[in-house]
Amino acid sequence: MKNNKQAELRHDLLSGDWVIVSPSRANVGKKPSSKECPFCNIEKQEKPTLIYSNGKEVNDLKNWTTVVIPNKFPILTPGKIKEEKENDFYIRTKSSGFHEIVVTKNHLKSLAYLPLKKVKEVFDCFQKRMIEYKKHDFVKCSFVFHNHGSLAGASQPHPHSQILTTPFVDNEFRLFLDNAKSYYSREKQCLQCKVLEMEKKNKKRIIFENDNFIAYIPFA
């Protein structure tokens, strides 16, 4: 019998997708006993996997400005994938993957209010960790998200982002890739490039654009 606290992946036979079931996540919303912010006292958290100090990668927390730490209540944990059946029908596996937190030092300033060099640190952390994840055969896809405020699901007010990996490619994302591949085989053109071309032409749904990025509201 499995430990009911062990997170696992369950295969949905109806949709063909995998679902993460993580009972330990029920503890996330509980307030810590200490009144101190856990991310302002980063040395008391899990051992960092990456530390930055004013634009440079360093080995200690002495003057840290951005840090990556393992999530204390992970949805996924590193390890080999081993499938097993329940009643010779349902399939489950251990929830193999990484679940880490990227924390910026300023308790009061969210990512949007940080200077550009501090924002770059955050994206450098995303990139470096994803490159590291690729070395493991149980990593098939990486996700980055940032919950801003309690209404968005943030359990801690201190600004932070999260990175997690899955041992599968999500069905919705796989469909996106398959459609792009199918379009290219027919038209010999990148589908996303064509979408951007059309959005820039009609200018109705563009929210923001500069030399490097564009944000727009999807047509559908």
Mean pLDDT, range 111-118, rounded to an integer: 94
Neighbouring CB atoms inside 10 A of 205's CB total 12
Pairing of strands 90-94, 206-209: unpaired
35 pLDDT above the threshold of 70: no
Where residue 25 falls among pLDDT bands split at 50, 70, 90? low
What is the overall mean pLDDT for the chain? 87
Q: How confident is the model at residue 3 (pLDDT cuts 50, 70, 90)?
A: very low
95/79 Cα distance (integer angstroms): 8
Average pLDDT for 196-201: 96
Residue 48 carries which DSSP code? Answer: P
Q: What is the largest CA-CA distance in the chain?
A: 60
Tell me the average pLDDT across 137-166.
86
Q: What is the mean pLDDT of residues 13-18?
A: 85
For the stretch 56-107, pLDDT in tens is 999 999 999 999 999 988 888 888 777 777 777 888 877 789 999 999 999 9
The pLDDT-based confidence of 141 (bands split at 50, 70, 90) is very high
Q: Is the pLDDT of residue 210 over 60?
A: yes
List of residues 6+ apart from 22 with CB closer than 8 A: 7, 74, 75, 95
The tokens for 74 are 């992970």
Q: Average pLDDT for residues 160-178, to the nearest whole number?
A: 92
Write the single-letter amino acid at 202.
N
